[in-house]
Every structure is written in C-alpha cells, then in structure tokens.
Structure 1
Amino acid sequence: MRHRLSDRDLAILGALQRVRLLSLRQLQRLFFVDGSPSARTRRSQLLMTRLTKVGVVVRFSRVIGGIRAGSSGYIYGLSGLGQAVINADGPAGGKRRRTWETKPYFQDHMLEVSELYVQLVEQHWAGQSELLAFDSEPNAWRHFTGPGGELVVVKPDAYIRLGTAALESSTFVEVDLSTETLPTIQRKSQRYIDYWHSGMEQQLRGVFPKVLWLVKDEHRQERIDGVIRKLAHDAHALFETGLLGTGGKLLGGSASGSAA
C-alpha cells in the first residue's frame, strides 16, 4: 500500500496523524494551494475520495456547514490501515488507535486544534513565524510527580514551538468550547502550576511554556481571566487567554511565549 501512495498522499496521512481530524477545507489549505477555488475543491474531493476507497482514511458521516456544504464539508481521519502505512503506533508502542467516530463536540474540539495547526502552517509559509513543533494530544501530554507523590498528567490540547525573528517561544494550548465548569478550569490551571513548580519541563527543555486558553467569545474569556486572577499571584504570568480563530496570530506575535 505504501508504494501505491504518492508523496502528497503520505503527507496527508502524516497531517491526519498529527492532528487526528481535518475537514476537506482544511486539507485544501494545506495541500491544494494552486489554482482557482473551484479547481482546488474538485482536486481535493477526488483525492480524498480515492484515499477513502483504498481504505487509508475514513470519511465521517457528519458534514461541517450543513447540507449546502456537500462533500466540501466532510471530515476525515486515519483508518487503521492508514496508521499502519505511516507506522503510527501508540505513544508507548501499544495498539494503534481506532478511527475517531466521536460525538460532535469532540469532533468540534479536534477541528479547532486542527484549525490552529493550519493557521500556523500558513503563517510559516508566509514567513511570519517558523513552526518548529506542533504536538497534539497525547504527544503533548506531560507526566510528573505531584505534591503528594502521586503521578499527575497534564493534558494540553497542543504543545507548540515557534520561531519569530531571533526568538523562540513555547506554548501549551487549551481549546475551550465553554463545556467545562469554572472549577474544572481552576483545577486544570492549578495542575499546570504544580507542573511548573516540579521543574521537570525546565530541566528537559530549558523553559516552561506559556499556557494559552483559546475560548469562543469575550464573555468566556472574562470568566477564565477571573479564574486566573484567583490563582497564586506568582503564577499569573504563566497564563494567557485569547479568542478561537485568532490563535495563530496570537501565537505568531509577541504576546505569547515561554513563561520561565
């Protein structure tokens, strides 16, 4: 199967391994950048239909954008065969994952992470920032020993390293779709503080990344800002909030970066 696929085919599988789900429109922006919009749509539809038929990707039944979106609104993920083709084993060499035919909320969440990745790739091409690393979950997760000696896992949605001018920034990203309670946000934030205090990230990578919460609207942003203000004063600089859709620009600018 690997020999039957082109370099672009394999690159598409690699992108799906990285972010788990991509819409057809996102795939167009990554892999079909030449030609008119209609030509790009047609070529991407034909290629993804072929990859679906040979069994390396799965096209999910849900359509983004409603019935008018048609095939341009489909969502794609890796199949088990697609994972085998690119040797996408689990993080500890375990079983390969199944495809992600998940609830709409989880698909929305994954697609927001994918959108951030696509934005950063586009900024990389435009010379606005250099995308050095983009790890989505579970590769972005961190394990450390908590204050009581227990094993604790920090689960950011993405870990990102960018180069801008002579600087390099590192960021943990949390995508928030307003489904979690504020006490849950506080507990997750405290877990980052505990990880910061452990010193493990600084020892391994030299710095502790900024933690960026990306939210749906300004009201939610104000509420999460309120949670952050209630945390220990010396930890406030670890956190930043921003709006979904602007994450690429925020990360590529000077506002976000390594905390300490």
Structure 2
Amino acid sequence: MTSKDALPIGYPFASKSEAASSQVEGESVPLVAPNTAASDGTRTHAAPRVTQRRLRAVEARLSDRDLAVLSSVERFRFLTAEHIEALHFHDHASAESGGRTCRRVLVRLRRERVLGVLNRRVGGVRAGSQGLVYFVDAGGERIQRQGESSRRGRRFPEPSARFLDHTLAIADVAVGIKAAADVSGAEVVQVAPEKEARRPYVDRLGGTQVLRPDLYVELAARPGDEDVQAFFVEIDLGHESLPTVLRKCRQYEAYCQAGIEQRDFGGFPRVVWVMGAYRPEIADRRRQTLRAAIGRGARLTPELYRVTAAEEVAAQLVQEVRHG
C-alpha cells in the first residue's frame, strides 16, 4: 500500500457505516449460527411499545454520540459495555468519569429501546454492568433503517455461545488496535468488521466466490501519513480444525491471484491469524502447528501470513506499521 488517497475512504468508529466503499459493503455469512440480534425474551426489563410517534421523539433526543454508539453496535452485531466505553467515552478527564457517563448513556438507550442486552453477561454476574452484551433493539433498528421496508415482527434467537464468543473476539481485536494506535501515535484509517469486509471475486475456473475476513484494518504510522498498510484478520478461538484453517488460507491465495487488491490499492494486505484456545499451552501449540503448515504448504505463500495471539496482535500490527 503506498497512498492513502488510493484506498477506500474508511470511516471512524464514531460514524455511520453507509459511507463504506463498494468493496466492503453488504452482509456477511457468520461462521456459525446466523444470529445477528436477540429476541424480545433477551430483555431483562419490561419495555414500552415503539410506536412511530414515540420513535420520532426518541430520535429527536439522540445526540451525535448516541448515534455513534448505535452505529458501532450495529456494525459489530454485539458489543460489551467495556467495548462501547473504549470506543466512545475514552476522551473524558478520567476513566472513572468516562465509565459513569457511559453507564448513564447505556441505561437511557436501553430504556428507549435503542439498545437491548442479552440475558448472559461476559465474565458472569461478577462482571457487573461492564459484562452486559448489547445489541440493536427494535427502536434502534427502526432508526437505522429509516426509509427501508419494515422489518416489524422479525424475531431472533439468542446467539450460540460459540458465535457470540467469536463476534466479541472480533470487537476485542478492533478495540485493541485502536487503543494501541492511540498510545503509539499511529492512525487507524479504517476498521471494517466481518459483515463489511467481504470481497467478491472470480476464481480461475470462472466461478463467483466471496472472501469473508473477520476484520479488515488499515493503519498509518502517524495521522495524515499517506503510506497506509492493510491487514485481513482471521480469528480462531480453537474451534476450527487445521484443514479448515488451511482451506481459508488457500481462499486468500485465490483472491490474491485474482489481483483485485493489487489493481485497486497497489498491494495485497497481510493475512493475520489470531489463534487462541481455552488453555494457553494449547493455543501456543496451535499457533506453532499453523506456522509450520503454512511454511510447508505447496500452494501457500508463507510471507503473506502472520500467526499471533489475541493479546499480542494489536501491538504487533501497530509496531509493524510504525517501524516497517
């Protein structure tokens, strides 16, 4: 990647997603159960019906930051209170004041049915309000979908634990990259979560395929720097077999051979595998196994890939951009 001007214009975390480039638009297919929200049963409090009159009154009261929070939750499907605080309440005089303000805002958005919460918390009951997991509730969805055909009556089951863990892991990485960039003085030019990062292409046999990264990231060493580096990020929490992971690598190779990124943006993004597991020693062994398999893969390009841990990926990407 050589010029920011040649790249799709990324929108910040606090803006709406409608401005995404044509190359990162559309809905993606989840890796597991296709759950993207939650049913009325996931709310832990009685909520008033969202009439059109009430919706207009709620929308009129929403601040730019409220809309930014709504947009972030919609983009990532699910976010914890901790994610929301890191993305939208980090500029307060102290962490305590930012946390208090975030909690007040989230209580209000829940009361107005702009956001809802799942029945289960991340980290269990001891996590308190920081462990609540938010989704876009009925009022928020109708605000987001103004002018589109009505979706009233649509119901979703609670997401599976596997799907929720994976979705929140994507948000963890995105928030971590933003925090690491802020500390180092780097710039997050764009972060596109799973449903925005899809890449359609035609394979060598003429068939239409779609590559679905978990995350697409563009970073610059410093604000305003025209030299931007891009990354596709894949997250595996120990659920996928090695053949499945290598099959995804071969799809990246096929997409690379299609030449779309090189033609449009001047280069192909690095592919970063974030590998985890329920025990650190198992996660480490899986990372070593994947590195070895990529190194000996006849149809793979080893220098295209990075394999790392979730707790290290943000600092590694920012350091790579900062120091080349």
TM-score bucket (shorter structure): 0.7 to 0.9
Partner of 1:204: 264
One-letter amino acid matched to 1:17? E
CA apart distance, 1:36: 5.2
User: Which of 254, 257, 260 does residue 320 from structure 2 map onto?
Assistant: 254
CA apart distance, 1:128: 2.6
CA apart distance, 1:182: 0.6
Percent sequence identity over aligned pairs: 29
CA apart distance, 1:149: 1.6
Q: Given the superposition, is the C-alpha separation of residues 229 and 60 from structure 1 closer, same or farther in structure 2, using an over 3 Å criterion?
A: same
One-letter amino acid matched to 2:102? S
Partner of 2:14: none
1:5 counterpart = 2:71 = no
Structure 1: any 5+ residue segments left out of the alignment?
Answer: none
Whether the aligned pair in 2 keeps the contact of 1:80 and 1:99 (CA below 8 Å) is: no
- Correspondences of 1:150-229 after superposition (within 5 Å): 150-165=207-222, 166=225, 167-216=227-276, 217-229=283-295
Write 1 or 2 for the structure with the bigger share of strand.
1
CA apart distance, 1:63: 0.7
One-letter amino acid matched to 1:131? V
Moved more, 106-115 or 81-90: 81-90
Larger-Rg structure? 2
Whether the aligned pair in 1 keeps the contact of 2:118 and 2:134 (CA below 8 Å) is: yes
Partner of 2:185: 128
Moved more, 226-235 or 147-156: 226-235
Q: Given the superposition, is the C-alpha separation of residues 46 and 120 from structure 1 closer, same or farther in structure 2, using an over 3 Å criterion?
A: same
Distance 2:249 2:230 in 1: 17
Moved more, 41-50 or 154-163: 41-50
RMSD (Å) for aligned C-alpha atoms: 2.9
TM-score by length of 1: 0.87
Distance 1:88 1:134 in 2: 25
CA apart distance, 1:94: 11
Distance 2:146 2:208 in 1: 26
CA apart distance, 1:39: 4.4
Partner of 1:143: 200
Distance 1:179 1:153 in 2: 22
RCO (CA 8 Å, sep 6+): is it higher in 1 or 2?
2
User: Which of 296, 302, 308 does residue 230 from structure 1 map onto?
Assistant: 296
Partner of 1:81: 139
One-letter amino acid matched to 2:169? E
Q: Given the superposition, is the C-alpha separation of residues 98 and 130 from structure 1 closer, same or farther in structure 2, using an over 3 Å criterion?
A: farther
Moved more, 61-70 or 40-49: 40-49
Distance 2:323 2:173 in 1: 16
Moved more, 108-117 or 27-36: 27-36
Moved more, 61-70 or 189-198: 61-70
1:71-92 CA-partner distances (Å, limit 9, x unpaired)? 22101122243233234999xx
Structure 2: any 5+ residue segments left out of the alignment?
Answer: 1-57, 277-282
Whether the aligned pair in 1 keeps the contact of 2:181 and 2:318 (CA below 8 Å) is: no
Distance 1:85 1:142 in 2: 28
1:86-113 CA-partner distances (Å, limit 9, x unpaired)? 34999xx997997683111111111111
Distance 1:156 1:101 in 2: 24
1:24-78 CA-partner distances (Å, limit 9, x unpaired)? 1122222233355554444322221211121111211111112211222101122
